[in-house]
Chains A and B, each alone.
Chain A
Amino acid sequence: DAGVIQSPRHEVTEMGQEVTLRCKPISGHNSLFWYRQTMMRGLELLIYFNNNVPIDDSGMPEDRFSAKMPNASFSTLKIQPSEPRDSAVYFCASSFPGLAGSSYEQYFGPGTRLTVT
C-alpha cells in the first residue's frame, strides 16, 4: 500500500487566497484525521471523520476552515480566506479501528507545508 497520500506537499499563497489541501487515506481505513503542527502550538487535532461522517470538529480554529470527506478515499481541508497565522504543517492520518480491543493506530501522511504571506 502507498500509505496516506497528501497533496500538495508544499503550498505558498498570499493572504486572502483560498487554499485546498487533499488527502487520500489508506485503502480500507474508515477513520480520517486532520492535524495542524506549529512550533508554538504543537500538534493539534482539527477534525476527524468516521465512515465519511465528521465526528468532532471542535478543533477547527474558525469558520474560515472547512473539511469534507465525500467518499472513503478522499478528503479535503479548505481555508478561505487564508491568513499568515495559518502557516503550519498540516497532516492527514487514517486508521481502521476494526474490532473491539484492536489497535486504533493512526498512520500519518507526509504532510503539507503551508506558507501564507
Chain B
Amino acid sequence: ELKVEQNPLFLSMQEGKNYTIYCNYSTTSDRLYWYRQDPGKSLESLFVLLSNGAVKQEGRLMASLDTKARLSTLHITAAVHDLSATYFCAVDNQGSQGNLIFGKGTKLSVKP
C-alpha cells in the first residue's frame, strides 16, 4: 500500500527566511504533484514532476523529485506572507488509473 508522508505538518516562518518541506513515499512511483490550498478554498495545482531529477520553479517556490530516494522537496526562498497556505504532495498510485495518494498537508504560516 502506497503511503505518503509530509513533514513538517505545521511550519511557522518569518518573512525573508528559507525553508524546505519534505514529501516521502513508500513505493515506486515516478510522478509527483504539489498542490496549494488557501483557507476556505479548493486545491490548486502548483507543480507536476514526471521523472527522476525533475525540478520546477515558480517564483519563490521550487520543487524537485528524487525517485530513487522516493523523496520530493518543496523549497521556499525568502518567504512572504502571501505564501501562507496548506501545501499537499500527491503521488501516483501506479496501476490505479489516475488515483493519487495525498499527504496530510503542510500548513505554512509566514509571519512579518
Contacts and interface: CB of A to CB of B under 8 A. Distances in A.
Please say whether chains A and B are actual partners in one complex: yes
Contact of B45 (A42, A43, A48, A107): A107
Contacts of B92: 104
A19 B44 CA distance: 26
A42 B96 CA distance: 22
Contact of A56 (B45, B96, B100, B105): B96
A35 B37 CA distance: 14
B31 interface: yes
Interface stretch (A65-73, A74-82, A108-116): A108-116
A43 B88 contact: yes
A interface, how many residues as a size bin?
A: 20 to 34
B97 A91 contact: no
A49 to B, nearest CB: 9
Interface residues of B, number: 21
A81 B77 CA distance: 48
Nearest to A98: B98
Contacts of A45: 99, 102
A108 B43 contact: yes
A50 B98 CA distance: 8
Interface in A18-58: 31, 33, 42-43, 45, 48, 50, 55-56
A101 to B, nearest CB: 8
A5 to B, nearest CB: 12
A58 to B, nearest CB: 11
B109 to A, nearest CB: 16
Interface of B: 31, 33, 35, 41-45, 48, 50, 88, 90, 92, 96-100, 102, 104-105
